Amino acid sequence: VPDNIVPFVDDFGIKGPRFHYDQAVMPGTTIRRWVYEYATILERFLFRMETSHLVVSGAKFIVITDELDITGIKVSFKGKRADPSKLDKLQQWENPCSSQSSLRGFLGIANFLRPFIENFATIDAPLRLLVGKRWKWTEAASEAMIALKQAAQGHKYLGVIDYHADADIILSVDSSQTAAGFVLYQVFPPPKGKTIILYDSIAMTEVEQRYSQPKLELCGVYKAIRKMRYHLIGVRFILEVDALSLKQMINSPDVTNAAMIRWMAHLKDYDFTIRHIAGKKHIIPDGLSRAHFHNPEEADPWPDSKHIRSNNHQVGVPTSTGATSPTPSQPRQFSKYSGRFLNLALWLSTGGIDPSLNKLSRPERKWLRGQLHKFFVDAGRLFRRNGKGTPQLVLNDPEEQHRALIYAHEHLSHRGRDAMTAFLLERVWWESIRGDCLKHARSCAPCQLRSRQQEGEALRAAPIPRLFETFALDIVDLGSNTGPRRYLVLARDLLTGWVEGRALPNKLASSVAKFIEDDILARYGPMVRQILTDNGPENQGEPEALLQRLGLRHAKITPNHPQGNAIVERGHAPIVEGLLKAAFDDRSRTFLYLPQVLLADRITARRSTGQSPFELVYGCQPLLPIDHDLNTFQIVDWDRIHTRSDLLAARARQLRRRDDDLANAAVLLRHARTQGRDYSDQANANKLRDPLDPDTMVLLRSTATFLGKPSYGFRPPAVPSCGFSQS
């Protein structure tokens, strides 16, 4: 132990010889030498087990085998390889995945095989974009699954580090703003040569992605060595990087950044030599290409340190032919562009000599020449100059534009048009970006349901009814401690504003029906044609049956225009306040003051008509106690009225004048409503839209007065029905 036997908890792995000795046999026998040495080691182990009185499980005891399955990894003399059953399961996985659960299962198996898959981080990038996001399978994801399945079968065996051999242990690291990719391998003398130990990569966090290039390179080396510390601690190895200044950075005595100081202090615990290789030959197995930083000046020479030696060698690493896919920093193909921007990219990249540009018309070539100073091509991608700001990547592909819109809206807390546009214009550009941001934000389903804004149509004029032709009815609650009758049912005439009311002990439909029958129909009879109510349960059932039986129309306000019942609801506050003030010291009998309050409301002039409901109904001013006390001027000369015929004649003259008053009140009411509509349309001009076609699906706005924070401002789509709308 541990040369021949490696214990792990209660399992013991008995190692055989490291070589087969070219199948040489023992002298005088036909037994091969490596078999004899293994049998000797096994016999010693069993003898010690017996003398120690230990028990061996016969079911688990494997005497000799050429390959052993250890937690899903097949280990043999050739090295280690993935379990064929897991490879088969990976190959048989559905493509495309039916759900995120299926995708997570596929990535779980693939990550188990990660050390065997070259370019893993690049291949599975389209799949990782779908995890935790809105589920929408793409063609790139299907291609990534196919490439991942092919790559899983590409590498048969991985080696194991031989710490006793005279072979260099090499950790090759490359860092980009996406991740730090690295490969651990060992170079043996011929014929064995280079042996890959494992592939791996570590993603950079959002903060680390904003590091400068030198700090990013140091961070990648720190992450790679820290993850491989169980393989490299106490072992001399070679660190391969493509950053020439990394050696000076590690040895710098005057670094002031706290994070870099911690990383360098950690690296001092390892014994390694830095080897620089050219970037174009530094093919890191995880396929992470280097970030491009245009720095015209070379780094200043830094003082050497005695702790780390550096040897610069040009080392050629064979390029992998396995399945790969473009990395984020590789040149973007011009196939992503079309139309004018494809021609612009070709012109900028070829200087206008591309054969396809010869077919352009004269106006098209003139437009291209006018745009050359605004755009440039870098690494196969078209950029737009942005003054002093960062150049903007031109997105001409609708799928990429949609992906950018989703990131700017769904991934960033559902911002509006201006915030989306400002965020995107710092990075990308296309011609209709502002309009597309507005369209995308307006089409977002959660934003529509959570919206507190409401679009509407211009208000339409409702006909002015005749006297007592239409009543608007509603119920109001007086509140607690107001006596046994806390509910008021009120009805107002839409022309004059005349109010009828009754105090109720409850707000049942039967009580409302009784009020309609006794206080409205019994008093105004055939003059009534329509009753307007809201959609409350107290207005259903018996009131509907009563009105239907008598042939009267029961109009209801529509959910999208609850202001249709405003004429009666606006009068609630004066009546309720008048009742509570009149009964301030007799609150338990508040309902007894209702007749007096209703009379006060009827004799009060209304702003819309300029006259009181009493005057419009009776054609004269009411005669009140104040008139007797102060002996005010009387319209009717009572000194000349001696007989019944004199009284009837005086009343007839009043009623004739009332017809003129009603006509004048209708004109004033129509004018007041017109002013109200114009004011509302001007105040809400930004919310108006054209009238909807019949049977159009809409979102119904919640009519609740106070909405909780988690509540939606709108309800799910529905087809609105025609209803009464009062302007």
Whether 275 shows a pLDDT value over 90: the answer reads: no
What HEC string does 246-261 produce?
HHHHHHCCCCCCHHHH
- Between vectors from CA 194 to CA 190 and to CA 197, what angle results, nearest 5°? 140
State whether 533 and 616 are in the same domain: no
Q: pLDDT tens-digit profile of 501-535?
A: 999 999 899 999 999 999 999 999 889 999 999 88
Question: In this structure, is residue 397 part of a structural domain?
Answer: yes
Average pLDDT over every residue of 594-603: 91
Q: What is the pLDDT of residue 75?
A: 83
**CATH code at position 508:** 3.30.420.10
Average pLDDT over every residue of 668-672: 85
Question: In this structure, is residue 547 part of a structural domain?
Answer: yes
Pick the last residue of a domain from 571, 596, 621. 596
Kind of pairing, strands 310-312 and 271-276? parallel
Whether 690 shows a pLDDT value over 80: the answer reads: no
Q: pLDDT tens-digit profile of 379-396?
A: 888 899 988 888 999 998
Are 584 and 578 in contact by the 8 Å Cβ rule? The answer is: no
- Between vectors from CA 347 to CA 346 and to CA 348, what angle results, nearest 5°? 95
Q: What is the pLDDT of residue 298?
A: 37
Among 279-283, 434-438, 610-614, the range with the most confident prediction by mean pLDDT is 434-438
Q: What is the pLDDT of residue 470?
A: 92
State whether 579 and 642 are in the same domain: no
Q: What is the C-alpha separation between 437 and 420, in angstroms, rounded?
A: 6
Average pLDDT over every residue of 623-651: 75
Window from 82-86, 94-98, 231-235, 310-314 with minimum mean pLDDT: 310-314
- The β-bridge partners of 455 are none
Q: What is the pLDDT of residue 46?
A: 85
Whether 18 shows a pLDDT value over 80: the answer reads: no
State whether 591 and 622 are in the same domain: no
Question: In this structure, is residue 322 part of a structural domain?
Answer: no
Question: In this structure, is residue 709 part of a structural domain?
Answer: no
Pick the last residue of a domain from 596, 612, 627. 596
Q: What is the pLDDT of residue 204?
A: 82
Q: What is the pLDDT of residue 85?
A: 83
Q: pLDDT tens-digit profile of 328-347?
A: 333 345 778 888 888 888 88
Sorted by sequence, the CB contacts under 8 Å of residue 23 that are 6+ apart come out as 32
Q: What is the pLDDT of residue 636?
A: 63
State whether 551 and 577 are in the same domain: yes
Going by the DSSP 8-state scheme, the letter that residue 414 receives in this structure is S
Q: What is the C-alpha separation between 231 and 246, in angstroms, rounded?
A: 22
Q: What is the C-alpha separation between 557 and 555, in angstroms, rounded?
A: 7
Question: In this structure, is residue 262 part of a structural domain?
Answer: yes
Question: In this structure, is residue 713 part of a structural domain?
Answer: no
What's the domain count of the chain? 6
Kind of pairing, strands 499-504 and 530-533? unpaired
Question: In this structure, is residue 610 part of a structural domain?
Answer: yes
State whether 343 and 378 are in the same domain: yes
Among 109-123, 507-521, 569-583, the range with the most confident prediction by mean pLDDT is 507-521
CA neighbor of 603 nearest in space, from 594, 613, 595, 592: 613
Q: What is the C-alpha separation between 286 and 117, in angstroms, rounded?
A: 9
Q: What is the pLDDT of residue 447?
A: 83
State whether 200 and 147 are in the same domain: no
State whether 607 and 580 are in the same domain: no
CA neighbor of 448 nearest in space, from 720, 718, 706, 699: 699
Q: What is the pLDDT of residue 349?
A: 83
Q: What is the pLDDT of residue 380?
A: 82
- Percent of the residues in the chain that have a pLDDT greater than 70, as a whole number: 83
Tokens of 527: 């003059």
Whether 86 shows a pLDDT value over 70: the answer reads: yes
Q: What is the pLDDT of residue 513?
A: 93
Average pLDDT over every residue of 392-403: 91
Q: Which residue has the higher pLDDT, 38 or 710?
A: 38
Kind of pairing, strands 271-276 and 236-241? parallel
Q: What is the C-alpha separation between 401 and 398, in angstroms, rounded?
A: 5
pTM of the complete model beyond 0.85: no
ω into 2 cis (within 30 of 0): yes
Residue 459 CA neighbour count, 13 Å, CB half? 23
State whether 383 and 446 are in the same domain: yes
Q: What is the pLDDT of residue 460?
A: 72
State whether 147 and 197 are in the same domain: no
Q: What is the pLDDT of residue 422?
A: 92
- Containing structural domain, residue 288: 168-293+303-312
**CATH code at position 348:** 1.10.340.70
- Give me the amino acid identity at 564: G
Q: What is the pLDDT of residue 623?
A: 77
Q: What is the pLDDT of residue 553?
A: 92
CA neighbor of 176 nearest in space, from 284, 261, 277, 262: 284
Assign 280 a pLDDT band (cuts: 50, 70, 90): low
Pick the last residue of a domain from 538, 570, 596. 596
State whether 29 and 92 are in the same domain: no
Residue that is written with structure tokens 């002990």 in the block = 505
Question: In this structure, is residue 255 part of a structural domain?
Answer: yes
Whether 43 shows a pLDDT value over 60: the answer reads: yes
Q: What is the C-alpha separation between 661 and 610, in angstroms, rounded?
A: 10
State whether 343 and 400 are in the same domain: yes
Window from 392-401, 496-505, 621-630 with minimum mean pLDDT: 621-630
Assign 326 a pLDDT band (cuts: 50, 70, 90): very low
Average pLDDT over every residue of 636-650: 79
Among 246-250, 312-316, 464-468, the range with the most confident prediction by mean pLDDT is 464-468
Whether 305 shows a pLDDT value over 50: the answer reads: no
State whether 97 and 58 are in the same domain: no
